[in-house]
Amino acid sequence: MHFHGTLEHMTIDEIIGFVGGLDGVLTIRPAPGDGTPDISWGDTFFYYAPDGATSTTAQPFATVVTKNYSGDEASRLDRPDTFRVNIAAGKEAFTRWTGHEPREPASTEVDPSTTDTVIAHPVYGTVGWLAVVNPGERTEASTRELLRAAHHLARSRHERRADSTTR
């Protein structure tokens, strides 16, 4: 599924291929019949899990969502061919991109439905998540860089936890 002209943006499959190619990534794509809640079907969750399994407390470091969730409708993901990449970018990257700390209010609010723009996640921005609706020409490189950074943070957290349990 590739678009041409002004709608040219990264595809979900390109994003899954890119993130899935990073070391130790477990990609979970809920689907009918796998026991996952049907609201999650069609979405993708990325975990740093070098052993190929996540603990029940594991948080994804990035997700791709294809629809509105209750309380998270501001990105208008009900539009055709619209999805959002959500990235646990961490405080430094969040502040660099938004100009404010995660828990501080934004001086200028960006419409969360704006495409091809790095924004504070409309729900999880307060914990340092960034989001991009339909990453395209302007944000493809940044989206990849932020996904790499989120992967690095998740790997570091995992290694710190592993170190503390082996002592």
| C-alpha distance from residue 2 to each of 29, 82, 87, 124 (Å) | 20, 13, 23, 29
The alpha carbon of residue 123 and the mean position of all alpha carbons in its chain are separated, in whole angstroms, by 12
> Which domains occur in the chain, in start order?
5-166 (3.90.1150.30)
For 18-33, what is each residue's pLDDT tens digit? 999 999 999 999 999 9
For 45-104, what is each residue's pLDDT tens digit? 999 999 988 777 789 999 999 999 999 999 999 999 999 999 999 999 999 999 999 999
Residue 163 to residue 161: CA distance in whole angstroms = 5
Q: Is the pLDDT of residue 9 over 50?
A: yes
* % residues pLDDT > 70 (the chain): 95
pTM of the full structure: 0.91
Q: Is the pLDDT of residue 167 over 70?
A: no
What is the dihedral angle through the alpha carbons of 105, 106, 112, 117, rounded to the nearest 10 degrees?
Answer: -140
Given the DSSP bridges, would you call strands 129-133 and 118-120 parallel, antiparallel or unpaired? antiparallel
**Average pLDDT over the chain, rounded to an integer:** 91
